[in-house]
């Protein structure tokens, strides 16, 4: 195996050093904010297994940059809303840190949920389950 120039952990640490991180309790307190858009980048199977934040937008990690870019044929209007605050999350905060760093490089302002969804329910955050599941 070739020697890596930078580990995944180093990439996440570098990203976290330059992006806005939101604490779970602070995001829970803002759930009723109409100017907040929570974006879940986890795989659809993760959302199915563990549930999701009610009202969150699902944007698979592999498509985020294309959905945000207004010049992309894959652009989604949810990412073109003026005056909105976008907070991205994954399971543990690693993928979302890398995602938000990339989006900031593109010129798209966003933050991420520092601990991810892994501690959401423990902090009293509401969880919605896919239809037909408990």
Whole-number Cα distances in Å, 50 to 15, 33, 66, 80, 124:
26, 24, 26, 29, 15
pLDDT single digits (tens) 26-58: 999 999 999 999 999 999 999 999 999 999 999
Neighbours of 93 (CB within 10 A): 24
pLDDT single digits (tens) 73-111: 999 999 999 999 999 999 999 999 999 999 999 999 999
pLDDT attached to residue 134: 46
H or E stretch at 10: helix 8-16
Per cent of the chain over pLDDT 70 is: 98
pLDDT of 133 strictly over 90: no
Fold classified for 10-119: Oxidized Rhodanese; domain 1 (3.40.250)
Instruction: Please report which confidence band the pLDDT of residue 132 belongs to, taking 50, 70 and 90 as the band edges.
Output: low
| pTM of the entire predicted model | 0.94
């Amino acid at each position: 195996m070739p020697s890596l120039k930078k580990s995944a952990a180093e990439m996440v640490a570098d990203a976290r050093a330059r992006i806005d991180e939101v604490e779970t309790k602070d995001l829970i307190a803002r759930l009723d904010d109409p100017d907040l858009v929570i974006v879940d980048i986890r795989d659809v199977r993760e959302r199915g297994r563990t549930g999701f934040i009610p009202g969150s937008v699902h944007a698979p990690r592999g498509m985020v940059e294309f959905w945000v870019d207004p010049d992309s044929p894959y652009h989604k209007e949810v990412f073109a809303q003026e005056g909105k605050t976008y907070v991205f999350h994954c399971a543990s905060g690693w993928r979302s840190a890398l995602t938000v760093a990339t989006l900031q490089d593109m010129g798209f302002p966003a933050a991420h949920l520092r601990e991810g969804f892994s501690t959401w329910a423990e902090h009293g955050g509401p969880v919605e389950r896919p239809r037909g599941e408990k």
